[in-house]
Amino acid sequence: MRYGSSRKVLVTGGAGFLGSHLCDRLISQGHEVLCVDNFFTGTRRNIAHLLDNPRFELLRHDITHPLYVEADEIYNLACPASPIHYQFDPVQTTKTSVNGAINMLGLAKRVKAKIFQASTSEVYGDPELHPQPESYWGRVNPVGYRSCYDEGKRCAETLFFDYHRQHKLEIKVARIFNTYGPRMHPNDGRVVSNFIVQALKNEDITVYGEGLQTRAFCYVDDLIRGFLSLMETGPDVTGPVNIGNPEEFTIIKLAETVIRLTGSKSKIITRPLPPDDPRQRRPDISMAQNVLGWTPQIQLEEGLGKAISYFETFLSADKSSGAVR
């Protein structure tokens, strides 16, 4: 592999929220990027600014089917990540996590590429241990509404480590905690985008339960920096590594902060808590700090300000064009 120089990097899910930011960073570092996406949740809008770049290539493809390309590195990010989207077709969600992992691992094995798996904090389920270290095995409902995603990602991790042990494949596994920032899908049902869009429209902000459940929010630039740091480690570092911000906030506090930052007239209303919704989620990032030298740098209010600016522009553009999406 051509480490230390330009590399050909395959990014599955490259037109999505995280994937498009990763493509940006890889291009800025001088690499060639092949962006693969089936556009179920990803959009051309996210990567439109890269389409004329000679080092960027876009391929429409569903990774549940085999892919035959050349690459020095593979980042496997393809999978709907919000409950609204992954519950829309739960069987396809599991196929994307499991069959997609098999296809990408098979490709990595054929071309001898280093491969990165975007796993998730959802592998911990509704945790009994707080914060969650990588050694915690989790508390996941295998037959619930979130299982297609939770168990799909857990199985993908299993496949990655079995390929590593059986075929000596060089793997990197990151467990992503709540991430936010520009290019989030406005209708993905995730709490940050929901609150910002509702606040900008002066609509009621929907909080589930009493809003006392907690989350830790990582800004997208910090997360991508963590990805790159993990990928640059030696072959002895496989992960899984938690990548997320350990600063914890209640959902009701987040809603109040968004209302204040947007100057919104929105009121907070409550709805029943969805099934299997975790009560608390916060990463133990000791491994990321010690092994990668990584720690998040962007505070919540700064990151929310950038996300709010993005959604203001997005909603304004869609309103002027008459777009529905």
Q: Which residues are catalytic?
A: 149
Please name the residue that has the structure tokens 């007239």: 265
Question: How many Cα atoms are found within 13 Å in the side-chain-facing hemisphere of 158?
Answer: 11
Q: In angstroms, what CA-CA distances link 203 with 62, 155, 197, 206, 308?
A: 36, 39, 8, 9, 15
End-to-end CA distance of the chain: 41
What is the C-alpha separation between 113 and 107, in angstroms, rounded? 8
**Angle at the Cα of 241 from the Cα atoms of 236 and 245, rounded to 5 degrees:** 145
CB 86 within 8 A of CB 64: no
Q: Which of 159, 158, 124, 160 is nearest to 141 (CA)?
A: 124
What is the C-alpha separation between 223 and 295, in angstroms, rounded? 9
Please name the residue that has the structure tokens 């700090």: 289
Helices (H) and strands (E) in the chain, counts: 10, 13
CB 27 within 8 A of CB 49: no
42 burial (CB, 10 Å; 0-12 / 13-18 / 19+) is: buried
Q: Which two tokens stand for residue 48?
A: 């439109």
Q: Is 57 helix (H, G, I), strand (E, B) or coil?
A: strand
**Angle at the Cα of 220 from the Cα atoms of 215 and 222, rounded to 5 degrees:** 95
For the chain, how big is the Rg over CA atoms in Å? 19
